[in-house]
């Protein structure tokens, strides 16, 4: 049976999927891998394009009719997350032009909960720092490895949304997860276990998996790449924990009350036991 698997070309996803997509673990499936940026994956999931896909949690309400959330593979910030940066200190974001990394990214959703009255422009995530440095925007919201490299460019942190979320709710910040097409309902347990095995293989063979992930760590040396992978391939990635479940439900409740999402997706509690 062929499975189409899509994830972003970033160190954490590359690390997670490496063993699965490179024949390091046994599988009854034939794996066809696609790499694409997360905003593209969010939009393609609306059309049900792939059997398994990484998505932003912001996108889940828009694809829950076609996909089920997997219990494995979540990217969660534990007191850290997307970082708003600028060339200078900003105490008020009203009317400021903010570069955001994609309309359906969770970073954008959480920022809209954090701030109102700002102006938004959407910029590919790997061009946001450049826009800030060139003063084309007042500030930019960084995801992926930019969270580690912005200081090297002399930029200032305005807020870390993961820190802000933890201070507000005493919970980690859910950013992204993996989904499996509803047509594969009978294969869900097998697929969950396979991805979990892939992540555990990477943890057991860090040098090889990290060397692969390095190919996708723009401007990161090995040590910084390892740090980034460990930030987002953590205990929440391997098992869907209660604090993640609670935080995700709060995220959707708050976003829905602010009319930022069309509905609150139902996440069954059984996901905690998978």
From 7, 118, 144, 181, active-site residue: 144
Q: Kindly give the pairing relationship between strand 173-181 and strand 52-56.
A: antiparallel
CA distance 75 to 173: 9
Q: What phi and psi, each to the nearest 5 degrees, are found at residue 159?
A: -160, 140
Report whether 269 contacts 244 (CB < 8 A): no
* CA distances to 8, 52, 165, 240 from 224, in Å: 19, 28, 24, 26
* Cβ-based burial of 259 (10 A; exposed 0-12, middle 13-18, buried ≥19): exposed
107 annotated ligand binder: yes
Half-sphere exposure of 38 (CA within 13 A, CB side): 32
Q: Is 21 annotated as a binding residue?
A: no
12/213 Cα distance (integer angstroms): 7
| Annotation says 144 is catalytic | yes
Annotated binding site: 106-107
Annotated binding site for substrate: 106-107
Report the catalytic residues. Answer: 144
């Amino acid at each position: 049976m062929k499975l189409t698997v899509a994830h972003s070309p970033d160190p954490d996803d590359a690390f997670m999927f490496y063993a699965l997509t490179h024949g390091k673990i046994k599988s009854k499936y034939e794996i066809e891998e696609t790499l694409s940026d997360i905003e593209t994956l969010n939009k393609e999931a609306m059309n049900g394009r792939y059997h398994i896909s990484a998505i932003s949690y912001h996108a889940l309400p828009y694809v829950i009719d076609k996909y089920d959330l997997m219990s494995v593979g979540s990217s969660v910030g534990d007191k850290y997350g997307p970082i708003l940066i600028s060339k200078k200190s900003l105490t008020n974001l009203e009317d400021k032009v903010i570069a955001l990394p994609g309309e359906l990214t969770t970073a954008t959703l959480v920022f809209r909960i954090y701030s109102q009255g700002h102006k938004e422009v959407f910029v590919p995530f790997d061009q946001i720092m450049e826009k800030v440095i060139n003063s084309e925007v007042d500030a930019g919201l960084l995801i992926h490895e930019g969270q580690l490299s912005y200081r090297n460019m002399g930029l200032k942190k305005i807020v870390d949304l993961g820190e802000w979320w933890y201070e507000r709710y005493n919970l980690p910040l859910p950013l992204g997860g993996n989904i499996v097409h509803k047509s594969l309902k009978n294969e869900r347990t097998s697929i969950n276990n396979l991805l979990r095995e892939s992540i555990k293989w990477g943890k057991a063979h860090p040098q090889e998996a990290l060397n692969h992930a390095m190919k996708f760590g723009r401007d990161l040396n090995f040590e910084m790449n390892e740090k980034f992978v460990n930030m987002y391939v953590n205990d929440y990635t391997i098992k869907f924990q209660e604090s993640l479940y609670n935080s995700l439900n709060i995220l959707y409740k708050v976003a829905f009350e602010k009319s930022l999402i069309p509905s609150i997706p139902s996440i069954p509690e059984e996901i905690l036991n998978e």
